[in-house]
């Protein structure tokens, strides 16, 4: 079964750090670009970050640039999001998602994880 499973969310104080993981299974992880999308409570979807299939190219939304780092370990079939200098506005459910077509960085997201909640509060 093709699936993505996020972990690493939790409660963190403003200014703190957290690392999210997204474990992939059921497909050739190294062939797909991967993305992070977040959703604040009661709000819509916000695009956060992306990484190419080989990890050579990355993208960040302006709202997280300089504070978040996306990476991947293709030998472990795992995607990461290192989050730093966290703010109240970063509080959200964070989803990892796979682009539908192999090798392409852009496209529709056909597989989503179940999400992991990040709470930023003192």
CA–CA separation, 50 and 18 (whole Å): 18
CA–CA separation, 105 and 93 (whole Å): 23
Per CB under 8 A, 112 contacts other proteins:
yes
- Residue 94's nearest CA partner among 1, 2, 12 is 12
Per CB under 8 A, 40 contacts other proteins:
no
Per CB under 8 A, 35 contacts other proteins:
yes
Please pick, from the candidates 67, 82, 115, 119, the single residue that binds other proteins as defined by CB under 8 A: 115
Tell me the two tokens of residue 6: 């996020």
Per CB under 8 A, 27 contacts other proteins:
no
Per CB under 8 A, residues contacting other proteins are: 35, 37, 44-47, 50, 59, 61, 95, 100, 105-110, 112-115
């Amino acid at each position: 079964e093709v699936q993505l499973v996020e972990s690493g969310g939790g409660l963190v104080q403003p200014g703190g750090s957290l690392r999210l993981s997204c474990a992939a299974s059921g497909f050739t992880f190294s062939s797909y670009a991967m993305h992070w999308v977040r959703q604040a409570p009661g709000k819509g979807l916000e695009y956060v970050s992306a990484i190419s299939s080989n990890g050579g190219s990355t993208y960040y939304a302006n709202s997280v640039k300089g504070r978040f780092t996306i990476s991947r370990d293709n030998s472990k079939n795992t995607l990461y999001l290192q989050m730093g200098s966290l703010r109240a506005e970063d509080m959200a459910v964070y989803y990892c998602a796979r682009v539908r077509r192999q090798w392409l960085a852009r496209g529709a997201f056909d597989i989503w994880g179940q999400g992991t909640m990040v709470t930023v509060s003192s």
